[in-house]
Structure 1
């Protein structure tokens, strides 16, 4: 009996000494919190909504000759942009997500918080009115911006749960140290924000809530790092020029939708899954929809390890190595995308199985359905019994690939391009005055986000370039 007790104590001590990886390995039979029991049904519902929006566009265009912003064929945009007074009910946006991240509430039901101060000097004691002060609060908040802003982060911007960053009506750029970190939290929406030129930071104390701050080691330099988080929606952002990935989803994250974004000027664009051996990522579920993978991209759009990844109605107009890669037996459901291969005859293949023999990857479920292949692009499918596994997912024919130009027309930040973005109403103040959010720092810019031409105000451009050079200098130190 004594020997049995001793053995039990030793076992408990060994288990207790495990890292978070060890604990996760002990719970492999349990689904991740937020993991959907039928990913094929979620994929099916995405196509149903897209086809409904396309049908509505065709019907209204034929009967009324209406060419308004409503007629996009994009179910997310049609959900809120059809209302000319959307800015009076901004939280309607939270009802518009599709795919695995559709349950992300963000700050819905919470009060509005207006960011009035673009500074970020103290990561431990942030000033009221700053973005950092807002995102660390524990209550639900719908965060908006009083004017155009360039927010140069000193360190990682660590979020708490139930937050929405709503950049509509302003031109908001986040650059600098660490950028956005969503770690062990839920229910975050990030919408209409430029995120670029992020570099490694850390080795310092950073506040993560009003009552807690702690030491953070050096970050990877991702644009957005989603780490052990769920119910996250990233929509209409423009991302480029980061030290590591533009978006990383790792360590048991699930319930993620990445939609309507513009990716450009980057090498390793998007990583989904921590490692081949991290088994909890088998429950990762990510929808990648309506994005534009644009200028000067090389690889990882995305690169997947484990999980179920639905890649639907995206426009891949540039890659140098490959578009979609993976290892560790991920399920990849590619539907209704347009893949435009580069002129390099050795880089025509859309897919890449990373460091894996064909004998092993032949059984992985990778499917291309209704995709458009341009300039010699080709997708290498695989999987045994794949027809049965994907039956529900593509029972609605993804004819929407033919409308890819229209669906992805407004990918990235919705800038000042006649989109009737409106202005933010300044809280519930007595004056009811509008803050002019369309006359501030700079408009969308081609060199960095791959979108519109630079703003013509030379003094503003000079200020921005100067700040950018400072950031690059600091990143090389």
Structure 2
């Protein structure tokens, strides 16, 4: 089945739907319409990687520049770790001839290499290996695009989408599973003990605006983080973010998604030093489920971020925090619900990373109303302010926090688009 050919779409066709006129920051100005204006010859139903690349423009390296209005329906599972004949690819297919994990570990052992960043032939070979995989499993998406799953089983497996310098993109009703990097990099300068870091996000926005991510599910699937898989005393981390929003991206709405079973979930703004983000990174998160997410739900720098009616549910003992108050961040949180193990201290729900303000109201923790900021300030002798200097104006109905678990469990995630 070639891209551009037609298969029957579901009875209620959501492909030309646009973001509501008040539905979060994505509705600002001209709003977000994706590929709603696509002509009939730019409406595609795709079932494998090659068809998807063709529908996006024909050549992955150039598809990010393709601004022709288009609607792409995803049917079934599309595995991105495949060649053009849809044959599976893996570690050995991407590995540079000069790369060896055993030699890499021997060369950059902290006892031998120290605290400086790795460099030299083995690090170069690792980077080339990672680049080989990235060119295959990370697909570039251009402006004026809607990508939407058909039915209740549409899935992107083993990689993700990269939206860079694009405008007007809609991603809906898709499960994104296991953007797995075979070639993690050792960084001894990351934290006091160093860390293994990976490159791939399930969905990454950079320098893009007017994006709507709706009714999707994000997880690590059959390859969750293995905290027993360690080198140099640190977890050998094969995953990065589920959804990251960086580098002056703006006017984004993230609604009715499920994020589950992951460590570093969402970062809004990637660096304190990237001051160009100031005045950008305006994002709304509403009616999302964060289930067993360790941290970054989200962590914010610079942006005016509206968080409302989200459900944070954690049953595991590795919970770190949910709201990251980063440098110059301006989070406005209201009517969110937390379900955390009994005895979890409410001050754990947020963490300050050089940020100094968080507006929060009507938060429930296990059915009890709490003042997150006051609790945090008292526990850590901090002075986080409760005013961020702005009030959201773009939103539809805000539900009472007590109703959020039922609404989100019934309506959020891929396969539940009504």
Partner of 2:155: 173
Match of 2:248 among 246, 252, 256: 252
1:372 aligns with 2:364: yes
Q: Indicate if the aligned counterparts of 2:23 and 2:394 stay in contact, CA closer than 8 A.
A: no
Check the 8 A contact 1:349/1:380 in 2, yes or no. Answer: no
Asked if 1 retains the 8 angstrom alpha-carbon contact of 2:306 and 2:392, the reply is no
Match of 1:200 in 2: 181
Residue number in structure 1 paired with 2:294: 298
Q: Is the 8 A contact 1:312 1:336 kept in 2?
A: yes
Question: Secondary structure of the equivalent of 1:182?
Answer: strand
Q: 1:324-339 alignment to 2 at 5 Å?
A: 324-339=323-338
**Unaligned runs of at least 5 residues, structure 2:** 1-9, 82-135, 184-196, 221-237, 375-382
1: CA distance, partners of 2:57 / 2:35: 17
Q: TM-score, normalised by structure 1?
A: 0.57
Contact 1:269–1:302 (CA under 8 A) maintained in structure 2:
yes
Deviations 1:366-406 (A, max 9, x none): 1111221227776125665829x356769999562132134
Corresponding residue for residue 226 of structure 1: 205
Structure 1 residues 97 and 106: alpha-carbon distance in aligned structure 2, compared to 1, 3 A threshold: farther
Distance, in Å, in 1 between the alignment partners of 2:172 and 2:372 is 31
TM-superposed CA distance for 1:337, in Å, is 0.5
- 1:312 alignment counterpart: 308
Note the alpha carbon deviations across 1:180-223, whole angstroms, 9 max, x for none: 10011111000000111103389xxxxxxxxxxxxxxx982111
- Measure the CA separation in 2 of the matches of 1:373 and 1:173: 33
Kept in 1: contact 2:212–2:252 (CA 8 A): yes
On the 8 A contact 1:341/1:347 being kept in 2, the answer is: no
Matched residue, 1:144: 73
Q: Is the 8 A contact 1:101 1:231 kept in 2?
A: yes
Quick one: distance in 2 between partners of 1:407 and 1:97?
20
Specify the SS of the correspondent of 2:240: coil
Whole-angstrom distance in 2 between the partners of 1:235 and 1:407: 15
Q: Where in structure 2 are the equivalents of 1:289-438 lying within 5 Å? A: 289-294=286-291, 296-318=292-314, 320-343=319-342, 345=344, 349-354=348-353, 356=354, 361=355, 364-374=356-366, 379-380=372-373, 386=387, 389-390=389-390, 400-408=400-408, 409-414=410-415
Q: Does 1:86 align with 2:12?
A: yes
* Compared CA separation, residues 115 and 130, structure 1 to 2 (3 A): farther
CA distance in 2, matches of 1:152, 1:329: 37
- Deviation per residue, 1:272-317 (Å, 9 max, x gap): 10211211222210101000111x3211100111111110000111
Counterpart residue number, 1:110: 38
Match for residue 131 of structure 2? none
TM-score, normalization by structure 2: 0.64
Deviation at 1:365, TM superposition (A): 2.8
Shift of 1:240: 1.1
Give secondary structure in 2 for the equivalent of 1:86.
coil
The CA distance in 2 between the partners of 1:254 and 1:395, in whole Å, is: 16
The 1:192–1:250 alpha-carbon spacing in structure 2 relative to 1, beyond 3 Å, is: same
Q: Does 1:163 align with 2:162?
A: no
Give the alignment partner of residue 218 of structure 2, picking from 239, 259, 270: 239
> Who wins on radius of gyration, i.e. which is larger?
1
Cα offsets for 1:324-370 (capped at 9, x unmatched): 0122120111111102233454575211002x4xxxx5xx3311112
- Contact 2:251–2:283 (8 Å) recurs in 1: yes
Query: How many angstroms apart in 1 are the aligned matches of 2:320 and 2:22?
Result: 31
Partner of 1:380, secondary structure, is helix
Aligned to 1:189: 170
**What is the match of residue 287 of structure 1?**
284
- Relative to its length, the structure with more helix (as a share) is 1
| Cα gap change, 1:148 to 1:85, in 2 (>3 Å) | closer
Going from structure 1 to structure 2, the CA distance change for 1:288 and 1:391 (only over 3 Å counts) comes to closer
Residues 8-63 of structure 1 deviation map (CA, whole Å, 9 limit, x = unaligned): xxxxxxxxxxxxxxxxxxxxxxxxxxxxxxxxxxxxxxxxxxxxxxxxxxxxxxxx
